[in-house]
A and B are shown apart, each in its own frame.
Chain A
């Protein structure tokens, strides 16, 4: 199983039924992601890229099709198992960070570990090394309001890495940041990818997409193109 694809989507569709109108957000998507990939998903607003991301991240359920994550069929999982998957296999990063406003950077990173039931004495070292990885060792005791946007997003990355997930999913991680902070985030991603982490990110910014190894373009719920960058590892 470990040798198979990390993410395997077969005929995934998502249809929103809003009373009279049926909106097809995803139309029988087939996609495979391997381990260690650094992928950009691009596409105009309403193309279905966020829906795709949410389904991959187990935040949303598809209307049809099969989704294997690390060889396990997600469709057959109950809510507890899904919570476990989100907790341990996936690290999600949001455009608007979604940090707990009243908790420090340290406590925000600690949160997924608490949900995982990790004993207290195992956490500290991991939290501090994660914060060091994103260059925020000296910000551990700061609350989100005391951090800049770029710093908040780096805390979110440290948090996403808390339980060593198989894949990091980032939904427009630089969308709320200025270009310099956005560049810092992408550099953190590049470092992580060099360490072998799988990263999938949605972006509007072609300059960011070009730094990824594979670009998947979505339009109207279907994959328009799936290209590999020449300068990529793959």
Chain B
């Protein structure tokens, strides 16, 4: 055992020497493996990061929600003409009706909107969209407040409180960045409102009335009191998990068709934006992207593999004379192959280690870089360990195999032939 250890140590020492002697070739081999590992690991890291970010951005609008606007009928129904506008009167019990009749809906809220409202604080005034809505809106539309603040709640609705929840952008514009405005009073349309919360920073890739960071949200009841307009601009609902959003849509047409007396088959009576459909589509597109990435990764691995194989093969071939000399000194085939394989392993491990380390460093740097807007999708690359390890493993195996066969061949021929090799 002691002898074996000594032998291995000595071989490693010789390999170290060889590393120095054949710096260029060894470094090229290490570089090939490092480069292959980095390419594939980073490719997949950005792919994973992209998917994460896109999912996050996708969820910025809300996860699995549907938005409904009242439309205009295009079919005569029960003696009523076509061309009637469908509008949701807030106090007609429409929300309660939908809740009780459409079982596939988990949550629903109406939304009042009014554009260009004066928001005033200490003499400064800006104009923003004001939204009046209900507590359910918070979860559905991912309107989460930063610590220390909150969204509209039940009591706000019941007591018609003059409280306001601000989008990130609005808060920054009115109060400046890094200021916590909770508890401050702002005037909306001349009426004082207490700030109860500011939205967290979130990514949002789609919207229907402008990004949420530009929202000013007040209780629906307060909105009604202030503006007196009884019609919801739109409804937002969330479909229960596992329920098909299309069937919920049908139920909704039937329920509202009965209420507003339009033909449930009249598709123009309600305008529906099904974000779930979009999400499904997105999943398919991303599956395509992922397959493409894997394909590119596979090709890269293949090319790196050829590079490693080539270097290893040439390396062993050009040392055939050395193998001959060692055999003339009494080395056995096994000892020679062992040396080459130890060498291949050292090179592979060094290359793989470097490759993974550099990949980790690059992804860490990307995560630290401040990247907003369009680049935000690239800001969260994540090293996929199985991919990294499989890459290193494959390249090492290729290096091994392409070194093993010429080494075994050189070790099995007559030493005199190996010595004669030029």
A residues neighboring B (CB under 8 Å): 54, 57, 59-61, 79-80, 83-88, 92, 94, 98-103, 107, 110-112, 114-117, 119-120, 159, 163
Given contacts A102-B14, A102-B22, A103-B17, contact A115 B330 (CB under 8 A): yes
Say how far A20's CB is from chain B's closest CB, in angstroms: 20
A112 contacts B330, CB within 8 Å?
A: yes
Mask: chain B, 320-336; 1 = CB below 8 Å from A; 0 = not: 01101111111111010
B280 at the interface (CB under 8 A from A): no
B interface, size bucket: 20 to 34
Interface presence of B375 (CB below 8 A): no
- B329: which of A61, A79, A87 is its contact (CB, 8 Å)? A87
In the complex the two chains form, is A60's CB within 8 Å of B329's CB? no
- Distance, CA A107 to CA B11, complexed state (A): 11
> B331-344 interface mask toward A, CB cutoff 8 Å, 1 = contact, 0 = none?
11101000000000
User: What's the Cα separation between A163 and B329 when bound, in Å?
Assistant: 10
B319 to chain A, nearest CB (A): 10
Task: Tell me which residues across on chain A come within 8 A of B415, comparing CB atoms.
Answer: 59-60, 86
Q: How far is the CA of A38 from the CA of B331 in the complex (A)?
A: 27
A102 CB contacts on chain B under 8 angstroms: 14, 17-18, 20-22
Question: Nearest Cβ in chain B — how far from A25, in angstroms?
Answer: 12
Contact check, A114 vs B333: say whether CB atoms are below 8 A apart. Answer: no
Nearest neighbor of B14 in chain A, beta-carbon distance: A103
Task: Name which residue of chain B comes closest to A58, CB basis.
Answer: B415
List 13 contacting pairs A-B, 8 Å CB cutoff, sorted by A: A59-B414, A79-B332, A83-B333, A86-B327, A92-B328, A98-B322, A98-B324, A98-B328, A100-B322, A101-B21, A102-B21, A107-B14, A115-B335
Contact (A87, B325) CB under 8 Å given A59-B414, A103-B14, A114-B10: no
Which among B2, B3, B321 has the greatest number of chain A C-beta atoms within 10 A?
B3
Contact of A117 among B3, B17, B321 (CB under 8 A): B3
B67 touches A (CB below 8 Å): no
Q: Is the CB of B3 within 8 A of A111?
A: no
Chain A residues with Cβ under 8 A from B115's Cβ? none
Chain B residues within an 8 Å CB radius of A84: 330
B419 within 8 A of partner (CB): yes
Task: Report B1-44 CB contacts with A as 1/0, cut-off 8 Å.
Answer: 01100110010011001101110000000000000000000000
Closest CB in chain B relative to A84 CB, distance in Å = 7
Q: Report B's interface with A, CB cutoff 8 A.
A: 2-3, 6-7, 10, 13-14, 17-18, 20-22, 321-322, 324-333, 335, 412, 414-416, 419
Closest to A60 in B: B416
Q: In the complex, are the beta carbons of A87 and B14 less than 8 A apart?
A: no
State the Cβ distance, A120 to closest chain B Cβ, in Å: 5
List the B side residues contacting A92 at CB < 8 Å.
328-329
A85→B3 CA distance, assembly (Å): 21
In the complex, are the beta carbons of A88 and B416 less than 8 A apart? no
Q: Which residues in A have their C-beta under 8 angstroms from that of B20?
A: 102
Chain A nearest CB, measured from B3 CB (Å): 6
Given A86-B415, A102-B14, verify A57-B22 contact (CB < 8 Å).
Answer: no
Question: Looking at the complex, which one of B18, B21, B332 makes contact with A83 (CB distance below 8 Å)?
Answer: B332
Are B331 and A83 in contact, with the CB atoms below 8 A? yes
A83 touches B327 (CB 8 A): yes
Asked if A98 meets B321 with Cβ closer than 8 Å, knowing A61-B414, A103-B14, the reply is yes
Q: Closest chain A residue to B10 by CB distance?
A: A114
Question: Would you give the shortest CB distance from B327 to chain A, in whole angstroms?
Answer: 7
Question: Which residues in A have their C-beta under 8 angstroms from that of B329?
Answer: 86-87, 92, 111-112, 115, 159
> Across the interface, do A115 and B332 meet the contact criterion of CB distance under 8 Å?
yes
Q: State how many angstroms separate the Cβ of B343 from the closest Cβ of chain A.
A: 12
| Known contacts A102-B20, A102-B21; A94 and B331 CB within 8 A of each other | no
List, in ascending order, chain A residues with CB within 8 A of B414's CB: 59-61
Report whether B330 and A83 are in contact in the complex, using a CB–CB cutoff of 8 Å.
Answer: yes
Given contacts A83-B327, A115-B326, 14 further A-B contacts (CB under 8 A): A57-B328, A59-B414, A59-B416, A60-B416, A83-B331, A92-B328, A94-B325, A98-B324, A100-B322, A102-B18, A102-B21, A103-B14, A112-B330, A120-B3
Nearest-neighbour CB distance to chain B for A30, whole angstroms, equals 22
Most chain A CB within 10 A, of B10, B322, B330, B412, is at B330
Distance of A79 Cα from B413 Cα, bound (Å): 10
Find the A residue at minimum CB distance from B330. A87
The 10 closest A-B pairs by CB, nearest first: A87-B330, A102-B21, A98-B325, A102-B17, A59-B416, A60-B416, A59-B415, A86-B330, A83-B332, A112-B329
Check A86 against B10 for contact (C-beta < 8 Å).
Answer: no
Q: Which residues of A contact B7 (CB under 8 A)?
A: 114, 117
CA distance A111 to B414 in the complex (A): 20
Residues of B within 8 A of A87 (CB): 329-331
CA of A33 to CA of B329, assembled, Å: 22
Q: Which among B6, B18, B322, B331 is the interface contact of A115 at CB below 8 angstroms?
A: B331
Chain A residues near B332: list those with CB within 8 A: 79-80, 83, 115
Q: How far is the CB of A10 from chain B (nearest CB, A)?
A: 21
In the complex, A92→B415 CA distance in Å? 12
Q: In the complex, which residues of chain A have a beta carbon less than 8 angstroms from the beta carbon of B322?
A: 98, 100
Q: Please measure, in the bound complex, the distance between the C-alpha atom of A115 and the C-alpha atom of B13, giving whole angstroms.
A: 15
Closest CB in chain A relative to B6 CB, distance in Å? 5
B328 and A59 contact, CB distance less than 8 A? yes
Alpha-carbon gap, A45 to B321, bound state (A)? 22
B-chain residues with CB within 8 Å of residue A61 when the two chains form the complex:
414
In the complex the two chains form, is B6's CB within 8 Å of A120's CB? yes
Contact A163 B416 (CB under 8 A): no
- Are B22 and A86 in contact, with the CB atoms below 8 A? no
Say whether A59 contacts B419, CB under 8 Å: yes
Cα A116 to Cα B414 in complex, Å, equals 19
B333 cross-chain contacts in A, Cβ below 8 A: 79, 83
Closest to B11 in A: A114
Q: Is the CB of B330 within 8 A of A116?
A: yes
Chain A nearest CB, measured from B309 CB (Å): 24
